[in-house]
A = this chain, B = another copy of it.
Amino acid sequence: MSIHKVLIAGSWRESDSTGTFQAADPRTGQNLPDEYPVSSWSECEQALDAAAEAFEQLRQMPAERIAEFLELYADRIEARSAEICEMASRETALPVEPRLASGELPRTTGQLRQAAAAARSFSWCQPTIDTSANIRSCFAALGPVAVLGPNNFPLAFGSISGGDFAAAVAAGNPVIAKAHPLHPGTTRLLAEEAQAAVEQTGLPKATVQLLYHIDHSDGERMVRDPRLAAVAYTGSRTAGLKLKAAADSVGKPIYLEMSSVNPIVLLPGALQERAEEIAGELAGSCLMGTGQFCTNPGLVIAVDNDQTRQFSQTLVDKFQAAPVGTLLSGAGQQGLSSAVDALRQAGAEAICGASEGGGQGYSYANTILQCDGDQFLANPEALQAEAFGNSTMIVTVNSIDQAVEVISQLEGNLTGCIYSATDGSDDAAYDQIAPHLRQRVGRLLNDQVPTGVAVCPAMNHGGPFPATGHPGFTAVGIPASLIRFAMLQCYDNVRPHRLPALLQDENPGGVWRSIDGQWTQADAGALASA
């Protein structure tokens, strides 16, 4: 069978490939029939050239056109939903229902439509006007963005359909998508719809391009290439740090989401009050999607006492009673196995699971590890390593003080959660712990598992390094996520007719702007004379 074509400069082309690859069905381990190309560097260059040209054209277009594209693309994804979800399920073993068709796909189209609304409202631009100095600024498009999506969300974080894609395009940037090699077919179907929507709305033909795979060295070379303005990456820390080093070497913005164990602190009063309920929530969160979520709870901290021992047993029961899910890939199975082994070698004890297999295809037993606070503090680096998948670890501490010590050893994480009693009996412990956890996570939760990541303006799906590359940005949540792919552009004494519309005195669209320190939807003149 023929090799699939790449999408470059608006057309599906035979790839100038250096090799090919196939995705596998994780349920069987068998390769799927379709063959996909590994693009050569010269093909990367074609995409870079086309993206640079598209950016020049895109800058001249009204934001409305970009919004129309995003909405039409969302419509087209929905129209082809069954085929897309079927393909994604075959490539990832994630179930069509409810996960893909009722969860991830609506999230994906919802994100695209929110991004369209942000493009239309200019809410992400933060227009700022100083009337007396006649200095005006706003965020504006940055240039071509490469998006490298992860293995675990083929749609909602997919390189040509997910949050990074939506944010980069909504901010006015062309995207070069690199498919994740575990789901090239899904990415292809999405790219077909994206390209059709590009044509239908008359956007520059290279607004959206797709390469299925490139060599690691070409990936780093692309990241360094001056035709590329920024990079978004979600995936393993090892690969992420290499791309970060490449981007850093040329001073290029790169936004990474790399790893997170998402610590959960269970305060004594909470366990006394509702241990069974918490164990249920936690087991669900830990095993959802076979644990392959960025915000999967990988570290549970509780004070060592009778309640905690009973809670651990309840959690073990739930883990053992739950079906063992299929992992995304053989590499995923191997990675989880190695990670669990490493945690055990570092002193953690397996209280359930910790063996390969047990489910359909690529799989690993639902696993709980345990260590005490002293052990953790003796080897904090090894004992907080992420084991990506259906595994978690309980750290039993001898006091709230020791919980604080453990938390103080944590690297940056996406989320952190504290479960506390409703009757106030945990309040002192909460106040002792929260400031330390707060500074180490992007999103702090109370009494709620972190695996739901709502797409809303106040969401922060980010956090201190090494969870991400910068603690000030979020990958989820609109309009904030768009600012990653923007530059701050200031206009000083620029003649009125040369200003972008959203910085002119008149504001017919009612854009929210900060004028002389006040947020307003009024004209600049109106406020100045008021």
Contact = CB atoms under 8 A, between A and B. Distances in A.
Interface residues of A, number: 73
Contacts of A253: 470-472
B143 A492 contact: no
Interface string A476-501: 00001001101111111111001000
Contact of A493 (B434, B445, B519): B445
Contact of A458 (B133, B245, B464): B133
Contacts of A471: 142, 253, 487-488
A490 B135 contact: no
B517 A135 contact: no
Interface string A438-467: 110011111110100010111110101110
Contact of A488 (B244, B434, B474): B474
A460 B442 contact: no
B487 A444 contact: no
Contact of A492 (B142, B443, B494): B443
B465 A252 contact: yes
Interface string A41-64: 000000000000000100100000
Contact of A251 (B139, B430, B465, B474): B465
Contacts of A143: 439
Nearest to A474: B488
A422 to B, nearest CB: 9
A430 B498 contact: yes
A473 interface: yes
Interface in A284-321: none
A484 B471 CA distance: 10
B128 A457 contact: yes
A136 interface: yes
Interface in A116-148: 123, 128-130, 133, 135-137, 139, 142-143
Contact of A446 (B473, B493, B520): B493
A458 B135 contact: yes
A514 interface: yes
Given A253-B470, A466-B251, A472-B253, A444 B519 contact: no
A508 interface: no
A248 interface: yes
Contacts of A33: none
Contacts of A252: 465
A413 to B, nearest CB: 12
Interface of A: 56, 59, 123, 128-130, 133, 135-137, 139, 142-143, 244-245, 248, 250-253, 412, 415, 420, 430, 434-435, 438-439, 442-448, 450, 454, 456-460, 462, 464-466, 469-474, 480, 483-484, 486-495, 498, 512, 514, 516-520
